[in-house]
Amino acid sequence: MSHKPFKAVIPAAGLGTRFLPATKAMPKEMLPVVDKPAIQYVVEEAVAAGIEDVLIITGRNKSNIANHFDSVPELEHTLRTKGDDARLAAVLEASDLADIHTLRQGEPKGLGHAVLRAQRHVRDHPFAVMLGDDLIDARDPLLTRMLDEYDRHGATVIALMEVDPEHIHLYGVAAVEPTDDGDVVKVTGLVEKPSAADAPSNLAIIGRYVLNPAIFDVLEHTGPGKGGEIQLTDALQEIAADPEQGVYGVVFRGRRYDTGDKVGYIKAILQLAIDRDDLSGELRPWLQDFAADL
Ligand code: G1P
C-alpha cells in the first residue's frame, strides 16, 4: 500500500423525516437496531476493515452522536460498582472503537455537499464514505473487499447491488462493463435516481464508496442535480468518464439491511435479532407462532 491510511466519512445530517416523531429531537442514526444505534454498526464496519479515523458529518442534535462515542464516567462507575461486567463492556465498546470526529454540515445541500465538507479533515488520504441507512452484515465484509480493489486498481470503488426494477428509482444506478473478476465491474456511467425505463442497468449504488481525494476538486464545481441537491453520483459520473481516473464497482451479494424506511428498519431489527444467541431462543418460536397466525 503506497498511499496514506484510509479514513472513513459517515454523513449523518439528514433530517430523518421518515421516522418522525422519533427523530424530532434525535438523529435517525441513533435509532436502536436491536440494542445498538444504527451508526455504531457502521463505525464497527469501518473498524473491522482496518480504519481508525472516522469523521461523522452531523446536522441537528449532533451532541447525541458525539456523546454516544464518548466515555460516560458516572455510568461506567455505577456498572463497575455493581459488577455488571457485560453492560460495562457494551458501554466501553462504543467509546473505545475508533478516533471519532464530528463536523457540522451547516446547510444541508445534499450528499455531495456533505462529502465536500470532509475535505479539510480527510486532506490527502483515500477515504470510505459510508451511509448509515445501509447496514452491511459483519459476516459479509464488503468494505474490506472494496479497499483491496482500490489498492488493486488505484481508482475509485463503489458498492453495487442488483435491485428490482420497481425500486431502481430510489438509487444511483451504474452502466457497467465486465472485468475478469465476476464480482467486479468497470463503471462506464452513473445516473442518480432514474426511472425504471431510463435506468442503465439493475445495479444500484448501495451506500459504500472508496474515494480518492481528487473527488473534492470535482465536487467543488458539481452543480445541483436531482432534487436540487449536490449529488455524489454526479461527481462520480465525471470521474467515471475521465480515462485517467475511472470507477470500479464491487457487486455485493451478501446481507444488507436497508434501515432508511420503516419497513426496512423493522426487518433489519428482526433479521439481526434472530441471529443473536441471547435473543433467538425466545424470539424464534414466538416469531414462528406469530407468523402462523397472520
Ligand atoms: C443516496 C445516493 C444514491 C444511493 C443511495 C444508497 O441516496 O444519492 O445514489 O444509491 O444513497 O442508499 P439517498 O438514499 O440518500 O436518497
Q: Which three cell numbers stand for residue 229?
A: 441537491
**What is the pLDDT, as a whole number, of residue 226?**
95
Report the separation in Å between the CA atom of 205 and the middle of ligand 1, taken as the mean of its atom positions.
Answer: 7
**What is the pLDDT, as a whole number, of residue 280?**
96
Work out whether strand 127-130 and strand 203-211 pair parallel, antiparallel, or are unpaired: antiparallel
Q: What is the DSSP string of 110-163?
A: -HHHHHHHTHHHHTTS-EEEE-TTEEE-TTS-HHHHHHHHHHHHTSEEEEEEE-
- pLDDT tens for residues 207-254? 999 999 999 999 999 999 999 999 999 999 999 999 999 999 999 999
Is the bond preceding residue 21 a cis peptide, omega within 30 degrees? yes
**What is the pLDDT, as a whole number, of residue 131?**
96
**What is the pLDDT, as a whole number, of residue 14?**
83
- pLDDT tens for residues 78-87? 999 999 999 9
Class of CATH domain 7-260: alpha beta
Beta carbons of 149 and 208 less than 8 angstroms apart: no
Task: Look at phi and psi of residue 282 and say left if phi exceeds 0, alpha if psi is from -120 to 50, else beta.
Answer: alpha
205 lines ligand 1 (CB under 6 A): yes
**What is the pLDDT, as a whole number, of residue 143?**
98
- With pLDDT > 70 as the criterion, what percentage of the chain qualifies? 100
Evaluate if residue 93 carries a pLDDT over 90.
no
Other Cβ atoms within 10 Å of 141 Cβ, number: 15
Which residue owns the Cα nearest ligand 1 atom 15? 111
Report the separation in Å between the CA atom of 13 and the middle of ligand 1, taken as the mean of its atom positions.
Answer: 14
Report the separation in Å between the CA atom of 207 and the middle of ligand 1, taken as the mean of its atom positions.
Answer: 6
Evaluate if residue 60 carries a pLDDT over 80.
no
206 lines ligand 1 (CB under 6 A): yes
- With pLDDT > 90 as the criterion, what percentage of the chain qualifies? 86
Evaluate if residue 1 carries a pLDDT over 80.
no
Q: Where are the domains of the chain?
A: 7-260, 261-294
Ligand 1 pocket mutation pick from 205, 233, 234 by most atoms within 8 angstroms of CB: 205
Evaluate if residue 2 carries a pLDDT over 80.
no
131 lines ligand 1 (CB under 6 A): yes
Q: What is the mean pLDDT of residues 112-119?
A: 96
pTM, full prediction: 0.95
Cα distances (angstroms) measured from residue 124 to each of 97, 120, 143, 152, 174: 23, 9, 20, 19, 27
Q: What is the mean pLDDT of residues 58-68?
A: 86
**What is the pLDDT, as a whole number, of residue 196?**
95
Report the separation in Å between the CA atom of 134 and the middle of ligand 1, taken as the mean of its atom positions.
Answer: 9
Dist CA 95 CA 44 (whole Å): 11
Average pLDDT over the chain, rounded to an integer? 94
Dist CA 198 CA 191 (whole Å): 9
